Structure formats: C-alpha cells, structure tokens
C-alpha cells in the first residue's frame, strides 16, 4: 500500500516537474525565479567569495611544499640575476669612466697620461691612500699627479712595477700649491685636506679679493703638478684675529671615495 | 471519528505542520538546511572539487535525512529543493526537480529494520540516490539540447560523484542524526 502511494507521488511529482519545465520554457515562472534569485544573490555572492578565498587558502596549504621549493628556486634565480645586474652596472660604469678618460686625453694633447683602475683603499682605516693597478712598469713614479676628468685626485707616493699608491688631495697629509681663478696673480695659497671631506686653503693674503664659489686650481709652483688642474670650489672664507692671512674652505672637485678610474700624468709641458 | 468508524486515516503529504510542535521545528530546520545546501552547491568555488566533482550537498543531505528520519514528505523536499537548485544554478527548470524527486524516492525505499538507523543505510541511500540522480540528469539535460560527453559523464563523473557523495555522507551523517534527534521531540517512534 505504502509503495503504491509512493509510486503515485513519484509519478505525480515527475509530471509536475515536467509541467514546471514547460512553464519555465513559456516564461510563466520568470517572476518566481526572479524573486528567488534576487533574494538569494547576496547570500550566494558571500558564499562564492568566501568559498573562493577558502579554496585559494586550501590550495596554497596543499601546495605549501611545492611553493617553498619554487620560492627557493626563484630566490636563487633572483640572486643570480642581481649579481648579473651588478656586474653589468659595474661594466657600464667602467665603460663610462674609460670614455671620459679618452675624452680628457683627446682634450689635453700636451699631457702624457696613463689610465689606471682604483683597485683598493688603505685597509687600516687610518690613511686615505688608494691603490691603482698600474705602476712603474707603466712609467708611473713617485710624485706624479693623478687626475680624473680634469680634477686633481692626488699624487703618487709609492710605486711598484704593477701598482702604485696615491695620496689624495683630501688627505690631511697632502699639501698642494694652488691659486684662485679670477683673481690677481698674488691670490696663491696651499691646500690640504681636513677631516670633514673639505680641504682648507691657507696663506691667503688679506688684500686678496675672494668670493665663495670661485674655483681653486693648481698654481704649478714647486713643480709637483702642472698648472691649472681643477682642485675644488671655495665654499667658505674665514679671517683670523691673530694673523693677517685668511683661510678658505674648499670643496674638492673629485669625490675620491667614488673613484673607479684615474689618470696619471706622466709628462707635461712646463711653462 | 475516522478511527471510530473503522476507516483508516490517510496521511496528508501537504498538511502544514502545527506551529510550535516538534514537527513544525523540524520542518523549518530542514527548510533552512535545504536552502543553505542549495545555495552552497550552486555557489561553491571549483576549488572545493574532489576527484573533479563538487559534492551534491542537497542530494546527500536529503538521502541521509531520508535514512535517519524516514519522513513522509521526502519526495516533496526533493521536488522543492530541485526547483530551488534549478533556479539558483541555471540548470533547465525541471531537471533537478525530477532527478532529485526520483533520487529521494529511491533513497527512501527499503524495509524497516536495524539497518535503517545506521550509517550503512545512509550510505546505501546516498549511493542509490546518486546512481539514480546522474543518469536522470543526463537524460534531462540531453532532452534540453545540452551537449554532453556521455563517455566521461558515465565513466568518470558519475563514479567520482558517487565516491565524493559517500564521503560527504560520512561527514554529514552524525550532524544529521543529531538534528533528527533534536527535532524529534516527543513524537512516537514510527515504524513506517
């Protein structure tokens, strides 16, 4: 009896389903479907977004080991690429420096220059000296001037066949005879390094007309350096109560710490 | 009066539950769960696929409910849930209705006995329900002009769905049983 009743309901509901199907095809159910969809869509949207997030998290957890391996591999690749980029940048910088060196040589045919790379700094942190990769075998000897793009770097204080040690002009041990461009012939002095990356120009007479912003160049006195090599720019002028001489702070033209390449003046026309 | 006259009273499938009664609370619980299951099934991300299929939550719930509760209206629930699923999932209206009605009919079959309250019967109901549901759905979709890869649908999708639905049933069985006990109230235990 029960089975017959169930079968009856099965047939009845199946027929009703087919009826609904026909009504749907005729559009008779559209209002009801619209109401249901409108009512359910906010909930469905929440379910969809939540389940998508949850599925993504589950997928990430499932792939954790794989992701870790991939991450390690990618980190390795990034390291290799960074090293390559650094090497390329270094090459580009060196290339630019060498172009500048060639340009400077072409602009100064009276100077006999030899290019050298800066290969090291004094490791004691007590001295300011830099090491270059050319030495006596290239004709470099003690006392020669070292320049970069027309600016004075320093002088050679030691030379071995394949390397030389350069004392920068910014060193407190360095003294260079200089003059100020744009003043009369007596505006001479001597420049030496200070501890704060500035140089100090001393022995400037009181009557000499100095202004900040003026350029300081080598005077050529004493024979150590050719005349007219740019040393720096005056940034401050001081007067002393105890002396008639004045002092000026000079910002060096060449940033010694950033140097990669330098040129050593082997010979120059004195005059 | 009917009993007094010796006539057997027939159950009314469409009778509304009396408000406040255990049957009423059961009706609303099942209604909420069927609506939720329909929404979940139609909105769940494909990330929840197991063996390439998403569990048929409505079918599993109704088949398990049929096994543990033996309700008279189970086919009506299948019919209503099928309509909701058709509308929410964009399937041709009537496809899920018919398939779920047939599946719940098959799931609710079986004689009374010890197995009826056990997980084995629930698994059997889900198995039979799924076996009925998929071929019917395929036929109905085909009649609606949907192109189907029959080989994959029969050889791969249906077995995967059976496996996944059985797993879902194992997870759902205890909560559904607890709900059945919770909503049973003071109703006498019915053998049929």
B139-179 confidence digits (pLDDT tens):
887 887 777 778 888 888 889 999 999 999 999 988 988 88
Q: Cβ contacts of residue A180 below 8 Å, gap of 6+? A: A187, A189, A201, A204, A208, A210, A214, A215, A216, A217, A234
pLDDT digit string (tens) for A55-94? 888 878 878 888 888 888 999 899 889 888 888 887 887 7
pLDDT digit string (tens) for B44-91? 766 677 888 888 889 899 888 888 877 777 888 889 998 888 888 777
Query: What pLDDT, on a 0 to 100 scale, did the predictor assign at position A50?
Result: 83
Mean pLDDT of A36-45: 81
- pLDDT(B28) > 60: yes
Name the pLDDT band for B2 (thresholds 50, 70, 90).
Answer: very low
Q: List A251's β-bridge partners, or say none.
A: A233
Q: What is the DSSP string of chain B?
A: -TTTTTPPPPP-TTPPPPTTSHHHHHHHHHHHHHHHHHHHHHH--GGG-BTTB---HHHHHHHHHHHHH--TTHHHHHHHHHHHHHHHHTPPTTHHHHHHHHHHHHHH-S--SGGGGSHHHHHHHHHHHHHHHHHHHHHHHHHTT----HHHIIIIIHHHHHHHHHHHHHHHHHHHHHHHHHHHTTPPPP--
Q: B184 with B176: CB under 8 angstroms?
A: no
A52/B43 Cα distance (integer angstroms):
9
Mean of the per-residue pLDDT values of chain A: 82
Query: What pLDDT, on a 0 to 100 scale, did the predictor assign at position A221?
Result: 82
Query: What pLDDT, on a 0 to 100 scale, did the predictor assign at position B163?
Result: 92
Mean of the per-residue pLDDT values of chain B: 77
Burial degree of B89 (CB within 10 A; 0-12, 13-18, 19+): middle
In chain A, which among 11-70 make CB contacts under 8 A with chain B? 13-14, 16-18, 20-21, 23-24, 29, 32-33, 36-37, 40, 43-45, 47-48, 51-52, 54-56, 58-59
Query: What pLDDT, on a 0 to 100 scale, did the predictor assign at position B167?
Result: 92
Query: What pLDDT, on a 0 to 100 scale, did the predictor assign at position B3?
Result: 46
Query: What pLDDT, on a 0 to 100 scale, did the predictor assign at position B166?
Result: 92
Phi, psi of A148, deg, nearest 5: -150, 115
Q: List A117's β-bridge partners, or say none.
A: A261
- Closest to B121 in 3D by CA, of B81, B158, B175, B67: B67
Instruction: Tell me whether residues B88 and A24 touch, CB distance under 8 A.
Output: no
- pLDDT(A190) > 50: yes
Query: What pLDDT, on a 0 to 100 scale, did the predictor assign at position A185?
Result: 55
Mean pLDDT of A44-50: 81
Instruction: Tell me whether residues A44 and B108 touch, CB distance under 8 A.
Output: no
Which of A5, A21, A28, A60 is most worth mutating to test chain B (most B CB atoms within 10 A of its CB)? A21
B66/B103 Cα distance (integer angstroms):
11
Which of A6, A11, A14, A43 is most worth mutating to test chain B (most B CB atoms within 10 A of its CB)? A14
- Closest to B69 in 3D by CA, of B175, B154, B150: B175
- pLDDT(A42) > 50: yes
Name the pLDDT band for A126 (thresholds 50, 70, 90).
Answer: low
pLDDT digit string (tens) for A216-250? 888 888 777 888 888 988 888 887 666 778 888 99
Instruction: Tell me whether residues A24 and B95 touch, CB distance under 8 A.
Output: no
Query: What pLDDT, on a 0 to 100 scale, did the predictor assign at position B12?
Result: 53
A213/A205 Cα distance (integer angstroms):
18
């Amino acid at each position: 009896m029960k089975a017959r009743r169930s079968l009856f309901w099965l047939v009845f509901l199946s027929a009703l389903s087919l009826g609904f199907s026909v009504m749907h095809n005729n559009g008779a159910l559209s209002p009801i479907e619209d109401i249901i969809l409108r009512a359910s869509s906010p909930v469905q949207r929440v379910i969809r977004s939540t389940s998508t997030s949850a599925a993504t998290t589950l997928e990430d957890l499932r792939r954790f080991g794989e992701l870790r391996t991939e991450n390690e591999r990618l980190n390795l690749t990034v390291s290799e690429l960074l090293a390559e980029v650094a090497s390329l940048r270094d090459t580009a910088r060196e290339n630019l420096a060498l172009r500048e060196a060639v340009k400077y040589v072409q602009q100064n045919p009276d100077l006999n220059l030899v290019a050298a790379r800066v290969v090291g700094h004094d490791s004691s942190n007590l001295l300011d000296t830099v090491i270059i990769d050319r030495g006596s075998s290239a004709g470099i000897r003690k006392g020669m001037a070292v320049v970069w793009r027309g600016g004075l770097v320093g002088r050679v204080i030691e030379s071995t066949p394949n390397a030389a040690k350069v004392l920068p002009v910014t060193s407190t041990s360095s003294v260079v005879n200089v003059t100020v461009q744009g003043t009369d012939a007596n505006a001479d002095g001597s420049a030496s390094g200070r501890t704060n990356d500035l140089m100090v120009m001393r022995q400037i007479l009181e009557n000499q007309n100095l202004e900040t912003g003026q350029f300081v160049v080598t005077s050529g006195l004493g024979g150590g350096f050719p005349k007219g090599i740019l040393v720096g720019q005056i940034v401050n002028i001081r007067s002393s109560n105890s002396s008639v001489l004045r002092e000026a702070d000079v910002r060096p033209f060449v940033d010694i710490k950033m140097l990669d390449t330098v040129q050593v003046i082997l010979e120059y026309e004195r005059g | 009066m009917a009993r007094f006259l010796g006539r057997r009273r027939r159950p009314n499938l469409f009778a509304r539950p009396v408000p406040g009664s255990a049957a009423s609370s059961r009706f609303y619980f099942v209604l909420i769960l069927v609506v939720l299951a329909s929404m979940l099934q139609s909105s769940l991300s494909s990330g929840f696929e197991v063996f390439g299929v998403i569990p048929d939550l409505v079918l599993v719930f109704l088949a398990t409910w049929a096994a543990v509760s033996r309700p008279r209206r189970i086919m009506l629930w299948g019919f209503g849930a099928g309509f909701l699923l058709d509308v929410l999932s964009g399937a041709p209206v009537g496809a899920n209705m018919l398939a779920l009605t047939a599946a719940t009919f098959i799931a609710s079959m079986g004689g009374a006995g010890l197995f009826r309250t056990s997980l084995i019967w629930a698994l059997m109901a889900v198995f039979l329900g799924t076996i009925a549901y998929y071929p019917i759905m395929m036929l109905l979709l085909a009649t609606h002009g949907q192109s189907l890869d029959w080989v994959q649908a029969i050889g791969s999708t249906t077995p995967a769905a059976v496996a996944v639905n059985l797993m879902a049933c194992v997870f759902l069985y205890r909560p559904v049983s607890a709900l059945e006990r919770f909503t049973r109230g003071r109703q006498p235990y019915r053998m049929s």
